[in-house]
Structure 1
Amino acid sequence: MATTTVPAKDQRVGGHAERHLPPRQWRAYGDGVDAATTERFGALAGLIASAAVGVPVLLEFLAGTVRSPGWIVWLWWGCYLGYLAAFALLGQVPADRRPAWLADRPLLAVQVTLGALAYAFAPADGWALVLLVVTAAAAAYVLPKRGTIAVVVVQMLLIAGVTFRTEDDPLNAAVSVVVFTSFQAFAVLVIWSQQRETAARARLADAHAELRAATTLLEASSRTGERLRIARDLHDVVGHHLTALILELESATQAEPTSDSSHVGRARDIARSLLGAVRGAVTDLRDQPPALQDALADVTRLPHLRIELSVEDGLDIDDATSLALVRCVQEVVTNTVRHAEATTLSIEIGHDGNGAVLLDARDDGKGTARLRPGSGLNGVTERIDALGGSVEFVTAPGRGMRIAARIPLR
């Protein structure tokens, strides 16, 4: 088996500029040497900032200078530590490694609730507001825009309620509300800007991959057309003249014998040999299989997905089957990139031993309980059906997707 592995950067493509990106996606989005690590460090920075909130409270608690009642202090510590645990799970543990009851939105709800309580009961002034800014940033990753705005508004009202209750000067209270709400808005806008840029880069990468695939197919089609044109010219022109030459030499040898008859006979034999060679070359040109693996390698060369391509050595298929396979692989790759949230795609092509060629593609994406084929997968089905073959799609939540196609050889 000839195997080609297409390396990938640690990024995936998908999403839309106007939609939020789930945490599992935003941890793997972006550019740079390692986008997943970059995003994880961003979440770690938020976690460190949140952890710093507890330092002054701890120092006051150890010094015995906390003014709040003891039960409030212990309530605050419970809410604060619960907040840190929820944010750590949300930002550092991928969603597919957590149980269903610890999904992104439930964790965010816990973070919002405990962050609000920690701010409301904070024994030390000011620092707990950092928790609300971190919460707003986390909401921008997990929720759509309306949900994020709702979180910011609720936290703004909380800040206003606490500030106007504890601040004697209404003007100072109003300024504090505006300032800390602005901090939240700034964090959210930065996240949204990053998501728009990432989505734009993703769509550009998608378009580039599709353009490269189309270029590869066009080049293969042009080479095939040129090969067939040369074959026709050899057959129609050179073959015709060689046939005429042989006939002339046959006539010459049947005429009155001369001292040159032996030379004419040898010339006739050479012409016949040459005609046979030309016919063999024409047959080879017409029957030459396309460079399937090269075309597939071009189609599967993507910067954001690891693709393991394996094509059986000596695979002998016609142009129509080769073109269908390349198109189907292109659709499989595009579907995986856009919907599967996968890191690896394995593609195998070879004979099944019963007069058919098999295409087997598997990814390690999220899978789905109910598959609803779009235009891409429907295109795969139509291309395989047109050649008298069959295709099967197998998927399940958390188990990726498998596409198995069988095309009879002609």
Structure 2
Amino acid sequence: MERTGRVQIWAGVSMLVLCVLVGVVEGATVLSAGSWLLFAGWLVAFGTFLVGEIVLAVRPLPATAGARLLLVAVPVLASTAVVLLSPNRGGLNLILLVLTAATAAIHLELRGIATVIGWNSAVVLAQGAALGPLVTEPNRPVDLLLTTLLYAVLQAASAAMMWSQRRVEEALQDLTVAHVELRSTGALLAESSQAQERLRISRELHDVLGHQLTVLSVELEVASHQVAGPGREHVLRGRAITREVLADVRSVVGTERRRRFDLPAALADVTEEVPHPRVHLTIEPGLVVDDERAAVIVRVVQEVATNTIRHSRADNLWIDLTAADGTVRLDALDDGQGAPRVVAGHGLNGLRERVESLGGRVSLDGSAGFRVLAELPARRRVPA
């Protein structure tokens, strides 16, 4: 994913350089063929196009389709002005129309993409028909038709390529979310199954083997009072061994009943192999919570990870789990786009309900990245 990110950055830089080169060549042509007033208008339009494309590349996507359409409309209309103010029929400026079609494919749905391609094709047709102020002679009808068709195909191809890439990224995102959800559910099921199996084994040891050893110890105690001579020594030794074995069985039963949810292993299972963002998990050594709280913590980490994958556009997610003063504290922070106004959806509301049901609290902050702070009262903490 890091390599993919670097490729995307270099691709963006290359497109920016290409646009600037096109602008230099076309700007010089406009300046030589037209007045300073027309050149100033062309320069404003080209600058608006560049700014619009940069904003679309770095700004978080708006939530509504209408807002995304308005953002895309800025470079589309600006490129229209750039093309129509150029004296060149079918010049380098038409490359800008291809770029706006590709940009539309990243941000819009199919209907919006088709609208942009149709609009740009009409612009190519208008330029070739000499509707611009600096074009004096129109193209021949055949050339006009071929040019329009050619650039329509180029726009469609670039849009299709970006659309396919977008779909691949969305599919990878959905797969990553499913991976996190599956691993968290699997970890909880595994811990639940192991806990039930440990409880079953401890009960069997206590009820069956423990009972039989107790009876054997009583029988040997009785025998020790009825046997005299050298045989009594063996009876006493057998009674002592039986008591030792019974004590060991009781110790194993007690240990199995006291075994806790392996929270570090479960959280590592949930967060490992996430391709993007990179998850940095830190757990305070010696941290122990009961099974109910451990299950809630696993679900909180699952929700935080899936939200980060879906919405944040982050490269890193830091999750720190600590305990102090009888409170377990989970602090999750990503380096993504954040949210000036945090609106909790079903996932975050469910997270809050889980934590509050155990007497804890959750705070959300989207001012610098996105932070989720969950605090739970802990029943016991083993010092490191």
Q: Quote the Cα distance in structure 1 between the aligned partners of 2:149 and 2:71.
A: 27
Aligned to 2:373: 403
Superposed displacement of residue 130, structure 1: 1.3
CA contact (8 A) 1:364 1:401 kept: no
Match of 1:123?
87
Q: Is the alpha carbon distance of 1:51 and 1:385 closer, same or farther for their aligned partners in structure 2, counting shifts above 3 Å?
A: closer
| Residue pairs, 1:379-394, within 5 angstroms | 379-386=350-357, 388-394=358-364
Q: Does 1:153 align with 2:125?
A: no
Q: CA deviation at 1:239?
A: 0.8
Partner residue, 1:53: 22
Counterparts of 2:71 and 2:167 in 1: how far apart (Å)? 24
Aligned counterpart for 2:198 among listed residues 199, 208, 227: 227
SS in 2 for 1:339: helix
| Aligned with 2:267 (options 285, 292, 296) | 296
Which residue in 1 is equivalent to 2:321? 349
Answer whether contact 2:90 2:128 (CA < 8 A) is retained.
Answer: no
Shift of 1:223: 2.4
Contact 1:239 1:279 in 2 (8 A): yes
Task: Name the Cα RMSD after superposition.
Answer: 2.9
CA deviation profile, 1:288-325 (whole Å, cap 9, x unmatched) = 22321111101111111222212222223222222222
- Does the 8 Å CA contact 1:227/1:286 hold for their aligned counterparts? yes
Contact persistence 2:319–2:332 (CA under 8 A): yes
C-alpha spacing 1:332/1:407, structure 2 compared with 1 (3 Å): farther
Q: Cα deviations across residues 264-302 of structure 1 (Å, max 9, x unaligned)? A: 222212211221111011101110223211111011111
Matches for 1:89-238 after TM superposition, within 5 Å: 89-90=54-55, 94-95=58-59, 108-127=72-91, 128-165=93-130, 166-167=137-138, 169-238=140-209
Identity of matched residues, %: 34
What amino acid is the match of 2:103? Answer: A
Is contact 2:30-2:85 (8 Å) kept? Answer: no
8 Å Cα contact 2:260/2:290 also seen in 1: yes
Deviation for aligned residue 1:141: 2.4
Q: Match of 1:336?
A: 308
Q: Deviations over 1:32-80 (max 9, x none)?
A: xx22222222223333433343465578689xxx5x2343673476247
Which residue is equivalent to 1:311? 283
Distance in structure 2 (CA, Å) of the matches to 1:207 and 1:189: 27
TM-score (norm 2): 0.84
Gaps of 5+ in 2: 61-66, 131-136
Aligned length: 366
Give the Cα separation in 2 of the matches to 1:86 and 1:357.
47
Report the TM-score, using the length of structure 1 for normalisation. 0.79
Q: Is the 8 A contact 2:27 2:42 kept in 1?
A: no
Distance across 1 between alignment mates of 2:363 and 2:29 = 62
CA spacing shift, 1:193–1:242, aligned 2, 3 Å = same
Comparing 304-313 and 316-325, the one that deviates more:
316-325
The letter of the residue matching 2:127 is V
Check the 8 A contact 2:280/2:318 in 1, yes or no.
Answer: yes
Cα contact 2:27–2:43 (8 A) shared by 1: no
**Mapped partners of 1:207, 1:152: distance in 2:** 35
1:382 CA displacement: 3.3
Instruction: Give the 3 Å change call, closer, same or farther, for CA 220–185 of structure 1 in structure 2.
Output: same
2:63 matched residue in structure 1 = none
Encode CA deviations 1:156-182: one digit per residue, 9 max, x unaligned: 222222222342532332232222222
CA change 1:209–1:110 in 2 (3 A) is same
Aligned-partner residue type, residue 44 of structure 1: V
1:86 aligns with 2:51: yes
- Whether the aligned pair in 1 keeps the contact of 2:90 and 2:147 (CA below 8 Å) is no
Whether the 8 Å CA contact 1:49–1:130 is kept in 2: the answer is: no
Q: Report deviation, 1:190.
A: 1.7
What does the per-residue CA deviation read over 1:355-410, in whole Å, with 9 as the maximum and x for residues that have no partner? x4332322333333443333322332333344x32121222344422222213417
Asked if the contact 1:86–1:107 (Cα under 8 Å) also holds between the matched residues in 2, the reply is no
SS in 2 for 1:366: coil
Structure number with greater CO (CA < 8 Å, separation at least 6) is 1
Return closer, same or farther for 1:91/1:42 CA change in 2, 3 Å cut-off.
farther
1:236-275 alignment, distance < 5 Å: 236-255=207-226, 257-275=228-246
Gaps of 5+ in 1: 1-8, 11-33, 97-102
Q: Give 3-state SS (helix, strand or coil) of 2:361's partner.
A: strand
Deviations 1:220-267 (A, max 9, x none): 223222222221222122211110111101111222534322322222
Distance 1:366 1:277 in 2: 57
